Structure 1
Amino acid sequence: MTRSKVGVTIQSTSIFLDDRTVVLSEAIARKWKVPSNHMINMRFGSYQQDVKVVTAAVPNSLRVDPALASKIGLHQGARLTINYKPTSNTMSIGPLIGVMISRVNASSPSRPFGPITTFCKELTDACDQMGASVCFFPPKEMRANPQSLSAYSYANGTWSKRTFPIPNVIYNRLTSRKYENLPNVQQFMKDVKSRYGTEIFNEKYLNKTEVFEALRKDSSLHSYLPESYLFKNFPMLKSMAARHGVLFLKPITGSLGNGIIRIRREGLGESYTAHSTSLAGVRRQTYPTLLAVFQSISGKLKTQRYQIQQGLDLISSEGNPIDFRALVQRGEKGEWEITSIVGRIAGSQHFVSNLARGGSLSTVPAALAKASFTTTAARAAIIRRLRKASLEIAKGIETQIPSHFGELGIDLAVDRSGRVWLLEVNSKPSKDDNTALNTDNTKNKIRPSVRTLVKYARFLAKQ
């Protein structure tokens, strides 16, 4: 799509009669055939108003009245994409992207959104470079039947709260199911989609049971799926233990490796060892029978649902398991593409690879080399399988789960024979763990994953 960018100038001059007149660069008006001294419909997000366009010999500029700028959240120096459609006599600027965030700490002006503030600033910079506008808002700002939105934006070195129209596109970065399921949040999402045609992506969390049950419906994905079910009772545990020497119990809504239990049969006897993760570390306990294992964990089953999953004979480095995180995103054409894949090596004494538990990142070739895949050909073959699995699983999620996702964190594993397995799919992938390694860490560098988010938002907004 051909695009033009304009810099927004907020200025009241004698040429203005009121906030219904805007001044546009002659060159831009000529390129898009915008009629001068005529009324057209100007749109920004859900806002639309008839304005008179006056042209002037200033390069790449859109001058607006302060009253209009304040009404729709435009700031001095904003750089926005502009296009004009003569069939509807509409000039669109933007797009306006909204990001749902969990909380705002107004007492911390430099980090109002906590750890995610750096990502929000990076997304703002990407939007500025790519001709979009972005604002951020927590659950308390989401209401039924909204006509506008109170949200935060970064401009001229500070974060401030402004009034915005309803965005063209909303990206759900709520990091808590509790917030996501609030009645006002659910009603807000329903209303903006139905009233304004707003596109919302990553609109919900995925849980492990939902993912595996959905993907099992696609026979082409079966080779990636370890045996895995919603854990129900002791007979299920006994049946799975009869088929697999190692089992994992994973909280279906867990994250960061919290609460995972690994159950391993010891030798040919009846004893079992259970390793469990918690915030304090890994706890190891041995039981004389499988029934004793079940009795020890039955209390947890009353407060948390678990997925029971076949253990895999994974590749490792010095005894530490290795897995892989693929960040798969939709790009400027709306199609799934792989932004990055990184290797994750579990820390000493841990059986999960999360960085929060002492894991470390590695490039994929380096991780495979540590796992004794020493030839270039062997490593290349596995990398191809990881990439193929990532894209096929993302497309499987799109097909089998009736929700809109624009990015997925897909955790994969490789066994000692080189076969690729799916561990889990995360619809709220971390904005820290997925950075490709060995990149230039220049200050203010914008990661490819952030640029891709903006490209997809522009695709959804058709701008």
Structure 2
Amino acid sequence: MRKHYLIEVAQNDQLVVFCPPSLLSDKEITRIAFGSRSIEVDFIPHPEQNDRISISREIQKAIQFPSFNTPLHVFFDNQSLIIGPLVGIFTAGFTSLAMEPIGARTLFFSKLLSVNKMVGALPFVFEEQHIDWAQGTIEGYFFHNNVWKTIEVPFPNVIYDRLPNRRSESNPKLIKVRERLQKEYLIPWYNPGFFNKLDIHEKLVQDASVGNFLPETLPFTSFSSIEKMLSDHGHVFIKPKNGSLGLGVHQIIYDKHNDDYFCRYQDESGVNRLRKFSSLERLMSIVFANQSLERMLVQQGINLLRCESRPIDFRIHTNKDDLGNWHVSAIAAKIAGPGSVTTHKRSGGDIKTIEEIFSNKECTLYTERLSNAALLLSNSLDRNVEGIIGEIGFDLGIDRNGDVWLFEANSKPGRTIFTHPELKDFDLLTRKLSIAFAIFLTEQSLLHPEEIFK
């Protein structure tokens, strides 16, 4: 268990730091640092301060330390004692509203920042316009005592990417910000991009440790490739390579007895549709008339376990902790809505705990299989995907033989499952771990920068 230290601000202007004697043993420390700011000070051991560090108002001002009474971690680099980590959460979409500075996502960020005292970190939210490059500071949005406050702080120790969508992620201005902070300031940046479904499949399929979880998945090239997959599997899914929230997903089913083709999808008005066609060509020409098939992939259909005759899949969250190890942090079952092609709540799906739909024996078996698969997949993506990954949301299925299948991996997983009252503890755990990973990254950037910035 890593130790936290309360950082107190003493009412004097001396450049002196009082701290536990254990922090100074066998170390020659001459500076204190917070984020990108540091100052030369004198360190004096204080035998009565086992769990706190006292800095003066002058030091507080010099390192731009916001005194929120938050216990923090201590790191050492050369002759510096570093308090933190200061965690910048990078996003877009700020508003001018004091109560809702990040619009509809304000509640999520307020809950995310509220884990600071449990984790021992100081997180804040910011976007491109809040950076003062000349001064090396950021106007950070902090959530303290249930109120949003803006405070100017140094550049952070690490940055957690929470850009809301692919459009903002591909904005040249925001790309430049990320590159500059990473390359010029050597700040570790985690969860840097949305996954492309086909790219992820192609990386995973080369890893023998996870190949058995992957359904056959191909880019759309021709009707004949769909015909072959229908012949092999009976039904397929056509989905956007860069889709999310189940948007644009179509299920095509072939009835070999009557030589008919069925397409299940959600139309533009949000209505679940099931239509019959005499040929695949006619189906494609009508249903996909206004869509670019080059942006689509075709995926093998799986005969999933069912609840009340409706297909079930599972959302599994994995997170890295403050030691850099993967954990399964949440598991939920998602039951497809009546007539829906996906299990998403917006399409009428239901969220359940595994305990609600399986017997004790099945629950133990399926939890173990889903957890093992998610951890193997997390480690594989960690090895094969560029950038620093700290969390993943997997959509996994279990077929009628009990085998696990991967449908999607999400680098910025949604949090709809946490609306279920029995999943509140998992909601908290995922938030704690997503910030705690910054502790590990801060330490690694000091001890092994070649691993972080390779």
* TM-score bucket (shorter structure): 0.7 to 0.9
Taking the aligned partners of 1:192 and 1:329, their CA distance within structure 2 comes to: 24
Tell me: CA distance 1:365–1:158, structure 2 relative to 1, closer, same or farther (3 Å): closer
Aligned match of 1:88: 78
Aligned match of 2:347: 357
Cα shift readout 1:120-172 (whole Å, capped 9, x = no counterpart): 22232211233211110124446879822222112344212222222111111
Aligned match of 1:98: 88
Q: 8 Å contact 1:413–1:421 — kept in the other structure?
A: yes
Match of 1:280 among 265, 270, 273: 270
Taking the aligned partners of 1:299 and 1:202, their CA distance within structure 2 comes to: 35
What is the correspondence of 1:365-384 to structure 2 with a 5 Å cutoff? 365-367=355-357, 369=358, 374=359, 376-384=360-368
* Paired residue type of 1:382: Y
What is the correspondence of 1:12-91 to structure 2 with a 5 Å cutoff? 13=12, 16=13, 21-24=15-18, 28-33=19-24, 40-53=30-43, 60-65=52-57, 69=60, 72-83=63-74, 85=76, 88-91=78-81
Q: 1:281 Cα shift?
A: 2.4
Asked if residue 263 in structure 1 is aligned to residue 252 in structure 2, the reply is yes
Taking the aligned partners of 2:395 and 2:433, their CA distance within structure 1 comes to: 20
Q: 1:290 Cα shift?
A: 0.8
Asked if residue 400 in structure 1 is aligned to residue 366 in structure 2, the reply is no
* Paired residue type of 1:457: A
Tell me: CA distance 1:41–1:63, structure 2 relative to 1, closer, same or farther (3 Å): closer
Asked if residue 391 in structure 1 is aligned to residue 381 in structure 2, the reply is no
Q: Unmatched 5+ residue regions in structure 1? A: none
Match of 1:313 among 303, 309, 312: 303
* Paired residue type of 1:264: I
Taking the aligned partners of 1:84 and 1:448, their CA distance within structure 2 comes to: 24
Match of 1:228 among 195, 198, 217: 217
Structure 1 vs Structure 2: percent identity of aligned residues? 25
Tell me: CA distance 1:287–1:82, structure 2 relative to 1, closer, same or farther (3 Å): closer
Asked if residue 448 in structure 1 is aligned to residue 429 in structure 2, the reply is yes
Local SS of the residue matching 2:422: coil
TM-score, length basis structure 2: 0.88
Aligned match of 2:422: 438
Taking the aligned partners of 1:12 and 1:55, their CA distance within structure 2 comes to: 18
Q: 1:440 Cα shift?
A: 6.5
Asked if residue 205 in structure 1 is aligned to residue 194 in structure 2, the reply is yes
Taking the aligned partners of 1:234 and 1:143, their CA distance within structure 2 comes to: 54
Aligned match of 1:344: 334
Between 431-440 and 342-351, the greater mean CA deviation after superposition: 431-440
Q: 1:219 Cα shift?
A: 2.2
Q: 8 Å contact 1:257–1:277 — kept in the other structure?
A: no
Local SS of the residue matching 1:458: helix
Q: 8 Å contact 1:126–1:446 — kept in the other structure?
A: no
TM-score, length basis structure 1: 0.86
Local SS of the residue matching 2:41: strand
Q: Unmatched 5+ residue regions in structure 2? A: 445-454
* Paired residue type of 2:242: T
Q: 1:113 Cα shift?
A: 1.8
Tell me: CA distance 1:291–1:157, structure 2 relative to 1, closer, same or farther (3 Å): closer
Asked if residue 423 in structure 1 is aligned to residue 407 in structure 2, the reply is yes
* Paired residue type of 2:388: H
Q: 8 Å contact 2:265–2:341 — kept in the other structure?
A: no
Q: 8 Å contact 1:325–1:343 — kept in the other structure?
A: yes
Taking the aligned partners of 2:63 and 2:110, their CA distance within structure 1 comes to: 20
Asked if residue 7 in structure 1 is aligned to residue 7 in structure 2, the reply is yes
Tell me: CA distance 1:253–1:82, structure 2 relative to 1, closer, same or farther (3 Å): closer
Aligned match of 2:440: 459
What's the RMSD between the two structures over aligned residues? 2.9
* Paired residue type of 2:329: T
